Amino acid sequence: MSRFSVILMTALLIGGGWWAWQQFGASALSSKPIRYVKIEGAFQYTSKDRLKEVLAPQMKQGYYQADMNAIHQAIKALPLVDKVDVKRVWPDAVHIKITEQKPVVRWGKSALLNKQGDLLVPDNIDEFKNLPLITGPDGQEKKLLEIMKGVYIVLKDKSMQLAEFHVNERRAWRIKLASGMEMQLGRKAPLENMQRFLRTMDLLGEEQLAMIASVDTRYPNGFAVTWKPEVTNIDWKAIVEKNKNLI
């Protein structure tokens, strides 16, 4: 065998050994499993089972092959997830930090709003039945949320709790209190109409207020009251006499 042939064979053997090592190393790295997944965050609305479901495809890829961006996008797409941070941590772990949205009201039949008025769509709206409800024209979420905040404060000053705030296509307002009382406020100066009724509350007193089913304030010089079915005759003369100094 010539000297050239010996040198060539030696070069091939060396090259082949390096290639085989590279192939073995790549295979070992790609099969390195993810043994630990640490998830940080106070979860009120995102279930562990749902997280496991969206993480599973990437977890099966192994430590080096798992796509951190894909994990980020999959979790960010979950309802009520606000922020996500995903990190690969040596030697065999993935750390995930999740911050959830904080809904403050229900919007219509199946959606929510956060405090900025952003629209959120949960998997199950029934979980949020204790939140106040707003209904109104699409695209008016932020504006109506700000109006509702003002109405909420005005009612709270009178020890009343707002439960529902409705605005129809004609921009007429209707509200419902936690006590069950409804107020038709109309579309012309609705806030002023409500405040006009609230100024008379002291004349009625708590006992009479508890008997009211609904109030229609859409009258220029007063309002109409509908009493609950079980209410018997009310002694208005006694009420007037009791509050004559306030009238």
Reported as a single tens digit per residue, the pLDDT across 121-130 is: 999 999 999 9
Instruction: Say how many domains are in the chain.
Output: 2
Given a cut of 80, whether residue 117 has pLDDT beyond it is: yes
Q: How far apart are CA 53 and CA 75, in angstroms?
A: 10
At CB < 8 A and 24+ separation, what contacts does 205-211 make?
A: 205/239, 205/242, 205/243, 208/234, 208/239, 209/181, 210/179
Q: Are residues 135 and 90 in the same domain?
A: no
Whether pTM exceeds 0.85? no
Q: Residue 53: CB partners within 8 Å, gap ≥ 6?
A: none
Q: Are residues 172 and 230 in the same domain?
A: yes
Given a cut of 50, whether residue 16 has pLDDT beyond it is: no
Q: What's 187's domain CATH number?
A: 3.40.50.11690
Is residue 9, in this structure, part of any structural domain at all? no
Given a cut of 80, whether residue 119 has pLDDT beyond it is: yes
pLDDT, residue 233, reads 64
pLDDT, residue 74, reads 96
Q: Are residues 128 and 43 in the same domain?
A: no
Q: State the residue range of the domain holding 230.
A: 103-242
Q: Is 167 exposed, middle or buried (0-12, 13-18, 19+ CB in 10 A)?
A: buried
